[in-house]
Structure 1
């Protein structure tokens, strides 16, 4: 991932140049940087929000999708280099939580400890489930059925064939990335970790979320919201409140 174009990876919808910290938002499979536009607007000017755009979608749709979580994490870390002049918190939803974790590992290995990692809608990296029928190998209809089940995509979008042709390759590529991920044991993070889940999410149980505590020597906390995999759509205001409070708390702890 040499020569990463920072402008391609990082979108800054509500710049907050005087904010003391930055929040780096990493989307779910098939997601894009614009998913976090409401977060950026809600958290500015207290927090400078950087929304990550993976290759293969929207303004990067002509680029090939990444081949692995590790490739995405390396690209994110390289793109973040100019933005590390103040503490960063990594916030990832679903696939984005995996990218956030691996990016945090790379940052800590390079001597930059994130202010925190917020893992949303995803079980701990070391917790696996048997794969009976990988989603990325299904036909287009099977892929759309999976998306509808998780309730993260507007039905009007799924009914538009032209738009579907544009987004399905990215969704399939992202599911391939997720389903090929294999956790490599290593030293735990040292930064705080916050796990966020919906109480009816089929993708992660309460126990699987609690296992994130095994991946850091720092403080671990967990918050459960009403809702499924995309609980954060219906609980947006409360999610933003919890994230803001986490950032304030961790920053205060570093300052002491």
Structure 2
């Protein structure tokens, strides 16, 4: 039976480093559908599909971050026998962080690297008004503000009616999140930001670096909040460079990332935050 958590093939005998990717609010695993072809040989991309979107459309979306972190830890526990890394953009970055702490708490293998993209540091309070329980019109207005959602989708009332439950769950996950101080991670950390991102200012990114005692760095790329798509070649090349040192030495084609620019992926899901 196909594992519902994996958008593409379930991890088998990956010779390089497994890269598990988590979507932004309103997004799905298809946001990373091109990454497998763009990544070099030593990076094996595995987009993760959360309940309530994509191939899991009919499932109830999860609205609490601790619950989704526990569910993901259960789903990945059998796939941590090889070197692996976590990547998440915006909401996905926060999930990746809490998933790493959950795995540590269970005594499971830690990622060789944590990549957080377009996400404010977890110990910072949210500054935008909660909208997960707001009227539909307010949720749609928030999506317009966030950008990244085609106008024709926002104007499609039937489609929006289908998508709103997952969107509300994602906003609830973010808006009800409570940061609890723990010892810093011991995992190397790379934080990505966009130089024109109006949602996550640079000072909200720098504070991430205190969340690990291992090597950490901030990489600022051209683009607004969804630079994940517009600067995809730079994102993947940076990930590949970070992981080449931990890829198995006998991998014949382990090399620094060579990614070609592509346009933003098309998805029936709506990008949120």
Asked if residue 106 in structure 1 is aligned to residue 93 in structure 2, the reply is: no
Figure out how many residues of one structure are paired with residues of the other and give that number.
247
Q: Which residue, 213, 217, 240 being the options, matches 1:221?
A: 217
Q: TM-score, normalised by structure 2?
A: 0.84
Name which of structure 1's ranges 196-205 and 242-251 shifts more when overlaid on structure 2: 242-251
The answer (yes or no) to whether the contact 1:123–1:209 under 8 Å persists in 2 is yes
Residue 241 of structure 1 is matched in structure 2 by 237
Q: Which residue, 88, 94, 99 being the options, matches 2:90?
A: 94
- CA drift of 1:47 comes to 1.7
Q: 1:40 to 1:148 in 2, by over 3 A?
A: farther
The answer (yes or no) to whether the contact 2:113–2:189 under 8 Å persists in 1 is yes
CA distance in 1: counterparts of 2:12 and 2:31, whole angstroms = 18
CA distance in 1: counterparts of 2:109 and 2:6, whole angstroms = 19
Residue 207 of structure 2 is matched in structure 1 by 211
The answer (yes or no) to whether the contact 1:6–1:79 under 8 Å persists in 2 is no
Alignment of 1:1-256 (within 5 A): 7-12=3-8, 17-43=13-39, 45-109=41-105, 110-131=107-128, 133-249=129-245, 251=247
Q: 1:111 to 1:60 in 2, by over 3 A?
A: closer
CA distance in 1: counterparts of 2:240 and 2:44, whole angstroms = 11
- CA drift of 1:180 comes to 0.3
Name which of structure 1's ranges 73-82 and 158-167 shifts more when overlaid on structure 2: 158-167
CA distance in 1: counterparts of 2:137 and 2:189, whole angstroms = 37
- CA drift of 1:17 comes to 4.2
CA shift digits 1:97-150 (9 cap, x unpaired): 11100111122231412111101011111122345x212133222212222222
Query: Equivalent residue of 1:103, what SS?
Result: helix
- CA drift of 1:15 comes to 7.2
- CA drift of 1:76 comes to 1.1
RCO greater where, 1 or 2, for CA within 8 Å and sep 6 or more? 2
Query: Equivalent residue of 2:209, what SS?
Result: helix
> Higher helix proportion, which one?
1
Unaligned ranges ≥5, structure 2: 249-273
Q: 1:7 to 1:221 in 2, by over 3 A?
A: same
Q: TM-score, normalised by structure 1?
A: 0.89
Unaligned ranges ≥5, structure 1: none
Residue 255 of structure 2 is matched in structure 1 by none
- CA drift of 1:161 comes to 2.4
Q: 1:249 to 1:126 in 2, by over 3 A?
A: farther
- CA drift of 1:87 comes to 1.1
- CA drift of 1:235 comes to 0.9
- CA drift of 1:81 comes to 1.8
The answer (yes or no) to whether the contact 2:84–2:112 under 8 Å persists in 1 is yes
